Amino acid sequence: MAIESDVLVVGGGISGVTSAVAAARNGADVRLISHKKTTLRQASGLVDGLGYVPGRSQSTDREGSPSQKRRDFREFRDNRSEYWGPLITPFDGIDSLPDGHPYSVLGADALRSGLSLFDDLVGDSYLGGHTEKNALVPTFGGTVKPTARYPRAAAAGIASDNRSMLVAGFRSFTDFDARMVADNLEAAGVPFEVTGAEIAFADLFPADAEVTRFAKALDHDERIDGTPARQALADAVSPHVGDAERVGFPALLGDDNADEVRAELEERLGAAVFEIPTGPPSLPGLRLEDRLYAALDAEGVKYETGCPVVGYETAAGTPSRVETVLVDRSGQEIPYSASAFVLATGGFVGKGLDSDRDRVFEPVFDCHVPQPPDRYDWFVDDAFGDHPYARFGVNPDATMRPLDADGDPEFTNLYAAGSAVGGADVAREKSASGVSLATGAVAGRAAAAAIDDLNLELGTTEI
């Protein structure tokens, strides 16, 4: 007997959670199945809406094979196709996006509703919802980037705030050098004084300790050489604070008790304290993941993680309708049936897209993924150029149903959301989570609506 629900969401990233909640709020009984938890572990925890839009003409920078020609990196920089930005609000740019972009397909209101759903789910742990404007936040690469929502822990770092800033780094934590970040921020023209200092605090931990190890020590205020960790950290930083009104750290200031850790540091340093998100493993990402999963519980969505969906079945006689998906639970394939399904398996990173030497494909339902036939046309020669691969994904209609090569829905009851959807270079646009939220909100709603349609349909056939 198959396990049943109205809507079954495949994939538990930000887009999966969003579609699950959207469907649940529209009255559906929802279940979510995910293989790994999410790529949020790698993500910065910032929620981007839209920060840059590509110029109308997208360049491919090569004809024929790549070659050995010696090309200076500056040549790439100088010829990089134009992206306009940073946009003051995400909504300024939507009209100028290319046709196949999910925001073009769904319209600005989809992003608005995705963002407001997000605001509702995460409560006061995130800021930015008070305005439609983008915030410019410092990045660990030493510049600023536009984002729509930011964790409270990052709030004091906003670049459109004139307070003087100290960036603190740890010698044994190699993601960035604080002095380099400070100098680069200055070079980016920020409207405040900024200095950097590298401190030895983290040297007290074993070499190559993970950020989670630091976070735990601060969470529990463990003693380090006899001194409580928070005090030890404050003591190490204080001599560098000077006139700075705010102090930025790599994002490792606690996990479960992060607010408390920040508050104590602020008191001890006499300055506001914020985090600069870094690379994987990313605490702000993990914290967001916790929030989202707590929200799933609150919304009554049942979920299972650790088990991949490995295939699907259609009902006899209706090949255009997905009846069940097969879930691999410790080697056994268990059928899960539902009236509607949401494909939220992510892109290449989440494994919602895969490829071999010949083609790119969507592994669960084998939905059509538009792509140039020649592998050498999947990329361009500038590492940050207009890579076709960065836009790969399924091609949806206005209700987020993936379309086949002829432009017809692959299945009548399958919807898609998040990075599994193509058409956007979310990295260069700074639109990743925004696309997940907008597509998730629409896909979830549409999936819930489809059950009503289905009931109607079944009702009529019975008579």
Ligand X SMILES: Cc1cc2nc3c(=O)[nH]c(=O)nc-3n(C[C@H](O)[C@H](O)[C@H](O)COP(=O)(O)OP(=O)(O)OC[C@H]3O[C@@H](n4cnc5c(N)ncnc54)[C@H](O)[C@@H]3O)c2cc1C
How large is the C-alpha radius of gyration of the chain?
Answer: 24
Binders of another protein in range 3-32 (CB under 8 A): none
Min dist. Cβ of residue 310 to ligand X (A)? 7
332 binds, among another protein, ligand X, none (CB under 5 to 8 A by kind): none
DSSP 8-class letter at 100: T
349 binds ligand X, rule: CB under 6 A: yes
Residue 101 · residue 391 · CB < 8 Å = no
308 binds another protein, rule: CB under 8 A: no
Residue 245 identity (one-letter amino acid)? E
CA-to-CA dists, residue 442 to 14, 115, 273, 387, 448, angstroms:
14, 12, 37, 27, 10
Min dist. Cβ of residue 26 to another protein (A)? 23
- Which of 395/433 has CB closer to another protein? 433
Binders of ligand X in range 361-390 (CB under 6 A): 364
- Which of 14/400 has CB closer to ligand X? 14
- In degrees, rounded to 5, the angle at the alpha carbon of residue 166 between the alpha carbons of residues 160 and 167 is 95
| Residue 102, φ and ψ in degrees, nearest 5 | -55, -35
Mask for 159-178, x = binds ligand X (CB under 6 A): --------------------
Residue 424 · residue 102 · CB < 8 Å = yes
177 binds another protein, rule: CB under 8 A: yes
**CA 114 to chain CA mean position, Å:** 13
**CA 256 to chain CA mean position, Å:** 21
- In degrees, rounded to 5, the angle at the alpha carbon of residue 119 between the alpha carbons of residues 118 and 123 is 120
- Which of 350/388 has CB closer to ligand X? 350
151 binds ligand X, rule: CB under 6 A: no
| Residue 322 to residue 411: CA distance in whole angstroms | 7
Binders of ligand X in range 224-283 (CB under 6 A): none
33 binds ligand X, rule: CB under 6 A: yes
Span near another protein by CB under 8 A; candidates 30-38, 107-115, 133-141, 335-343: 133-141
Binder of ligand X out of 346, 385, 388, 423 (CB under 6 A): 346
- Which of 234/443 has CB closer to ligand X? 443
Q: How does DSSP assign 313-371, residue by residue?
A: EEETTEEEEEEEEEEEETTEEEEEEEEEEEE---STTTTSSEE-SS-EE-TTT------
In sequence order, what are the residues at sequence separation of 6 or more whose Cβ sits closer than 8 angstroms to the Cβ of residue 328?
307, 308, 309, 310, 334
Binders of another protein in range 330-389 (CB under 8 A): 347-349, 351, 354-357, 360, 374-376, 378-379, 381-384, 387, 389
Binder of another protein out of 27, 55, 77, 329 (CB under 8 A): 77
- Which of 132/397 has CB closer to another protein? 132
Residue 429 · residue 401 · CB < 8 Å = no
| Residue 133 to residue 135: CA distance in whole angstroms | 6
Residue 455 CB: number of other CB atoms within 10 A?
12
Binder of ligand X out of 214, 419, 438, 443 (CB under 6 A): 419
395 binds ligand X, rule: CB under 6 A: no
309 binds ligand X, rule: CB under 6 A: yes
423 binds ligand X, rule: CB under 6 A: no
Binder of ligand X out of 433, 443, 446, 451 (CB under 6 A): 433
Binder of ligand X out of 5, 19, 26, 34 (CB under 6 A): 34
172 binds another protein, rule: CB under 8 A: yes
Min dist. Cβ of residue 336 to another protein (A)? 26
| Residue 90 to residue 53: CA distance in whole angstroms | 9
Of the candidates 43, 139, 141, 49, the residue with the CA atom closest to the CA atom of residue 349 = 43
79 binds another protein, rule: CB under 8 A: no
Mask for 35-74, x = binds ligand X (CB under 6 A): xxxxxx-xxx-xxx--------------------------
Span near another protein by CB under 8 A; candidates 17-25, 198-206, 219-227, 453-461: 198-206
| Residue 402 to residue 395: CA distance in whole angstroms | 5
| Residue 18 to residue 309: CA distance in whole angstroms | 19
Min dist. Cβ of residue 130 to ligand X (A)? 18
Min dist. Cβ of residue 332 to ligand X (A)? 15
| Residue 348, φ and ψ in degrees, nearest 5 | -65, -30
- 177 by Cβ neighbours in 10 Å (0-12 / 13-18 / 19+) ranks as middle
207 binds another protein, rule: CB under 8 A: yes
Place of tokens 């709603």: 445
- Which of 207/463 has CB closer to another protein? 207
Residue 462 CB: number of other CB atoms within 10 A?
6
Binders of another protein in range 263-282 (CB under 8 A): 277-280
Catalog residues that contact ligand X under the rule CB under 6 A: 10-16, 33-40, 42-44, 46-48, 308-309, 344-346, 349-352, 364, 418-419, 432-433, 436
